[in-house]
Chains A and B, each alone.
Chain A
Amino acid sequence: MRVCGIIHQQICQLKWHLLACLGLIMVLPVEEAIVMFREGEGFFSDSMTFMAILFGPLLAGLIACANVQGDLDERRYIFWRSKPANVKLLITLKYFIGLVASLLVIACPLIFHIITNIIWNKVLFFKYYVPLPILIAIMTYSLCFACNVVVRKTARAWLIGMLIGGFILVLPFILPLNYRDFVSDVMFLKFGFYMAIILIACTAAFVFALYAAKYDWQLKTNLKVLLWVVAGLAFVLLMLFSSQVTNIKVLDEKQIDPSWGRGLNIFDYAGSNIVYQGNSYISTDKNVISISKIKSKNINSDTDYKSTLQPLLKGYHLYLYPQGRLLYKDAGNRLFLFNISAYYRTEVRGPARKRFYEKIYLRSYKHTGDSWMTVCELDISDCLTGNINTTRSAMRLIDNRLTACVNNSVVVADITNPEDLKIINKKLDVLKTYGTFNYKYRHKEFSISLLPIEDIEPEERIKLSIDLNYRYHYGSNDIYESSIVDVHDGRFSFFLTDEKDVARFDVTRWDKERIYCKFGASRPFTILESITGTPHSFSPNFVKDGKLYCYEDYTLLVFDIRSKVGIRKLGHFVRTNYEITGMAVLEDGNILLSIYWYPDFFTRPDFFTRPEKQKNYLYLLKNPE
């Protein structure tokens, strides 16, 4: 049998299918390029290339079916069987010629993307996403090829091939292989098992097709029932052994009366205790949520809260840090808390009402039976240093050192005796470069200023410097209670998120003035993840015990940041008609969430104007390991 002749015949047979598929797959990238060109950005394709590549597996299956059907339909098959042809050789040639054709089709949008992006000097994205769809395309091609040899009907073979392909793709998540994250475990192909499954499926399908063609196996009507029964049994067995993969398990749920407490469902840390709404301790013994009040007087509104904790000054408004929350210190039997109180006047200047900050105090309070009382007050108004119209604040309690930042100044106070705060260091105008938001350098090493305070440990100093650099906003921030920095084996990493991905940056070295960092890895969010919400750069994300916690609106995502395969999603918790208002990570890794429920998914009632419509809940979630 002339091999070259067969190859020529196969190419001629496939050319129209090839051109049709090429037309289909190139429509999206070319359309995107035209739109980009129309908008004056240049003739290049970006995201639509990925969409086109996603169609690759479907088209590969179509090419496979068309390829087989071209020679194995009733009449041609009889013709081939009557010739002294080597069936195995014929099928092998058909398989590989079709495969090359399929890969060519998938390669076209990719080549278009690369060329146009190079010409217009844009960033190439293909390195992240391309390998998996190509592997899947090879698999669907092989499966459809084998199915068509047996079924001998184009459409049905394509459908069955796709169905089997889809099943193989979810199989690793059903089996107890600890597959959790589609991106880290699968898309980047860092776990060889997934790749192995695909390659085994391809090889098995090819060998099966060879034997099926040689021995003329065809799916007869009586065999269909048997196959349905076998498939059904396999499915039931798999379902029996499967379990939840990524969803974080709820251990306990408790509804809170909305009229109870201050209405803001917040948690604060007081040593190893969790304080809820500023007035109750939360206990989670035996995975059951229980609440016990830490004082008899209930603080029911924000006004009460301010009047109880803050002495108002006549003619001044008050801004507190932490905003709406509290920084506790649990000193044996006594509970203290600290805050920064900023007093300001307002004046109408032109069209706007301007603020003028004049007095700033660092205060400590002591819990005395029924209420809190101010026990110490330090005037740190000089920290404003001329910038009196806006203020930004941050605090962090490290052992007995309280570091407080106001505008561009920093104060370190000794709080060994919280009733007698002592300033041990004060640096004015040293934080000018912090909070500039120019983050995410991906291609070069960059540096961050090291906080010029030598009264705290170097590790904490680096952590605080990084936090201040990225979270020191004009508004509320969580620097007082959490950090985005992970310290593991003496190495520092920090994590930044936006709508596109979670990125890890590693600290490479530091000197007396600067910390040097470089981009380490990223974990992109998928389209499906963005449906239920992804965190953005201002989300209250934080790192604790090797895990990154991100929550936004009604979605909580937990990532393993010390995994060998990079940043790996461990779990998610979603309640689409809820709003997550606060979270705390317990010592055992379990998570406490405070959320409120609103009646409709898309029309949230105003939290304060319609409190009767809301329901408050506390959730205890299992540690996602």
Chain B
Amino acid sequence: MFRMLLWKEWKENLWKLWFCSAASVVFTVILFRIRIIPDFANCVLISFIQMFVVPVIYSLDIFSGEMSNRTIHLLFKIPVPRWMLFFSKYIVSAAGIILIFLITGLLMEFSSRARETQWLVLLMTNSLCGIAALVLFTWFCAFGCQSRSEAASLVAMFSVFIGWGIVFFWSSICEVTWAERFVPYSFTLMRITKIGPVWTFLSHIPAFAAVLTIACYRYVGIRRYI
């Protein structure tokens, strides 16, 4: 049954994968061909835009779509635990996000052919933004899994962006380094700031697990629409 749920989510969200991949490929090819700015700057530009846009696209109707279409009634009547419903959505979205970043990162490496940077630098930079995007999406799940409309999902997602932005800003200003480690954006600055990669990943693992649990718990707890 879980495989069928995954298949359903995959089919429903395939347009997001197509759209994001196509847009990413088009802009990567254009920018790496015309080279208005250096390759590394191109990579940072594309990766940062992706980091904010891809989670937004995935979070638009991943949960709220079922509610606005009223299919959540049907979904909850399927004889499977609700955590499976949640994880089918989450896994498909996460896979989509990873796939989009992987496609873009590989395309960047292929387009640049290490002409301005070392091999894998662009892929690594893009992947770090991809991880940040995945963490942001997970935080959105915790906040927005009970959203009833696309607009509410967007507000939840923007709240996550801005909220973490404020935490990051203040922790930098007040030099609270331990707080910086928990901010999803810290992945993108891992090579610039003094926070080591191991510490960054280790700090995020418990936070990531906790947020995912909260998101699942909140989704399982949806009652008022049944």
A residues at B contact (CB < 8 Å):
20, 24, 27-28, 31, 35, 38, 62, 66, 154-155, 159, 162-163, 166-167, 170, 173-174, 180, 182, 235, 238-239, 242-247, 528-529, 531-532, 555, 572, 574-577, 600-602
Contact = CB atoms under 8 A, between A and B. Distances in A.
B71 interface: no
Contacts of A174: 30, 34
Contacts of B19: 159
B70 interface: no
Contact of A532 (B40, B151, B170): B40
Contacts of B191: 602
B38 interface: yes
A289 B158 CA distance: 54
Contact of B116 (A28, A38, A575): A575
Contacts of B34: 170, 173-174, 242-245
Nearest to A554: B116
A173 B34 CA distance: 7
A170 B44 CA distance: 17
Nearest to B173: A35
Nearest to B162: A27
Interface stretch (B21-29, B86-94, B99-107): B21-29
B127 to A, nearest CB: 15
Contacts of B31: 170
Contact of A20 (B27, B57, B117, B155): B155
Contacts of B30: 170, 174, 238-239, 242
A24 B162 contact: yes
A529 B150 contact: no
Given A170-B34, A174-B34, A242-B34, A31 B40 contact: no
Given A35-B169, A154-B150, A528 B45 contact: yes
A38 to B, nearest CB: 8
Contacts of A528: 37, 41, 44-45
Interface in B142-161: 150-151, 154-155, 158
B121 A239 contact: no
Contacts of B116: 574-576
Given A159-B23, A246-B36, A246-B37, 5 more contacts: A159-B57, A531-B41, A572-B37, A575-B117, A601-B121
Interface string B34-64: 1111111100110000000100010011000
Nearest to B25: A235
Contacts of A182: 36-37
Contacts of A66: 151
Interface centre among B26, B37, B39, B165 (most CB of A within 10 A): B37
B33 interface: yes
Contacts of B37: 182, 246, 528-529, 532, 572
B166 interface: yes
B150 A572 contact: no
A244 B34 CA distance: 4
B65 to A, nearest CB: 10
B40 A574 contact: yes
B60 A155 contact: yes
Interface centre among B33, B36, B61 (most CB of A within 10 A): B36
B38 A572 contact: yes
Nearest to B172: A35
Nearest to B29: A239
Nearest to A228: B22
Contacts of A575: 116-117
A440 B104 CA distance: 43
14 contacts: A31-B169, A159-B19, A159-B53, A238-B30, A239-B29, A245-B36, A246-B35, A528-B44, A532-B40, A555-B38, A572-B38, A574-B39, A576-B40, A601-B121
A155 B61 contact: yes
A27 B166 contact: yes
B69 interface: no
Interface string B109-125: 00000001110010000
Contacts of B165: 27-28
Contacts of B150: 154-155
A66 B40 CA distance: 36
B26 A167 contact: yes
A162 to B, nearest CB: 8
Contacts of A238: 30
A242 B36 contact: no
Contacts of A531: 38, 40-41, 44
A159 B26 CA distance: 14
Contacts of A167: 26
Contacts of B158: 24
Contacts of A247: 35, 38
Interface centre among A62, A180, A532 (most CB of B within 10 A): A532
A183 to B, nearest CB: 11
Nearest to A154: B150
Contacts of B33: 239, 242-244
Interface centre among A38, A154, A238, A528 (most CB of B within 10 A): A528
A143 to B, nearest CB: 14
Contacts of A244: 33-35
Contacts of B61: 155
A577 B36 contact: no
Contact of B26 (A235, A242, A246, A529): A235
A235 B22 CA distance: 11
A532 B41 contact: yes
Nearest to B37: A528
A247 B155 CA distance: 40
A576 B23 contact: no
A155 B57 contact: yes
Contacts of A20: 155
Contacts of A27: 162, 165-166
Contacts of B38: 247, 531-532, 555, 572, 574, 576
Contacts of A576: 38, 40, 116-118, 121
Given A31-B169, A242-B34, A531-B40, A577 B117 contact: yes
Nearest to A48: B169
B108 to A, nearest CB: 14
A245 B35 contact: yes
A246 B150 CA distance: 41
A529 B155 contact: no
A602 B196 CA distance: 13
A35 B27 CA distance: 36
Contacts of A28: 165
Interface string B158-191: 1000100110011001000000000000000001
A426 to B, nearest CB: 48
